[in-house]
Homo-oligomer: A and B are copies of this chain.
Amino acid sequence: MERREAAARVRSVSKAMELLETLLARRAPMSLQELSSAAGYPKSTVYALLSTLREHAMVEQRADGRYALGIRLFEYGCAVSESLDVSRVARPFLERLAERSGGSSYLSVLEGGHVLSLDQCTGGAGVQVVPEVGSRLPLHATAQGKLLLAYLGAGEARRLLSGAELPPYTPHTVTDAETLLALLPDVRARGYAVEDGEYKIGLRSVAAPVRGSAGEVRCAVGVVGLYRRVQSDEFQSAARETVSAAAALSAALGWR
């Protein structure tokens, strides 16, 4: 029997975190009423939680009374960013990869059923579409997502996919969990994952695994660009560059 993660121990803390998550999802200040109905708790409950969060600068209240994410979260974010040795070490590799692949490179990890972009490096040529640092991308419609899923335990990958909707971003998006799971052994065998216009039409992307000193897959490096076709020479070359950048970064992190 697999061990279920324990339910939330402290409900009020959970509720407070839900409020922050709501504010993050909306990406805009919200009124007390909005937060109250969005979270499903009574106004006065939400008020007490927000007051407490406000005292710790986790939220701030605007002049019009609406609540927004607070400045202390910026501090925490910087501290976490510094403690992530990965992104510091990865920077030169990302830059070199962007230069050699002709696309934009990025570094991402798995977090809460999404792909979280840790860092990026926009390529030189023309208009480039890159995920914003700190933004979430879908697991099922991105190369990074498929790659990170591939190196999870099979049960874990199924759990993440079954837990959520798999919305079709383009006609090429794989929206069936089983179909997606069936692709993962191939990803492991090849050592990289490919995305062919599954998130945005015209964009194609490769991702390869970055391993830590214990051999575990810590994150993914990838390239995204306006490549013509997956079979094209440019794309295949970008894939090779991605794999070798990921290997070099892994080595820098102490792999082998």
Interface residues, chain A, CB within 8 Å of chain B?
Answer: 5-6, 8-10, 12-14, 16-17, 20-21, 24, 27, 47-49, 51-53, 55-58, 68-84, 109, 111-112, 116, 118, 132-136
Q: Is the CB of A71 within 8 A of B27?
A: no
- Please state if A52 and B133 are interface contacts (CB–CB under 8 Å): no
* This chain's copy number in the assembly: 2
Return the chain B residue nearest A84 by Cβ.
B74
Alpha-carbon distance between A72 and B17 when the two chains are bound, in angstroms: 11
Which residues on the B side are within 8 Å of A8 (C-beta)? 51-52, 55
- Give bound CA distance, A72 to B25, whole Å: 13
Determine whether the beta carbon of B136 is less than 8 Å from that of A75: yes
Q: Which of B51, B73, B84, B116 contacts A6 (CB 8 A)?
A: B51
Distance between Cα atoms of A8 and B9 in the complex (Å)? 20
Q: Which residues of B contact A82 (CB under 8 A)?
A: 27, 132, 134
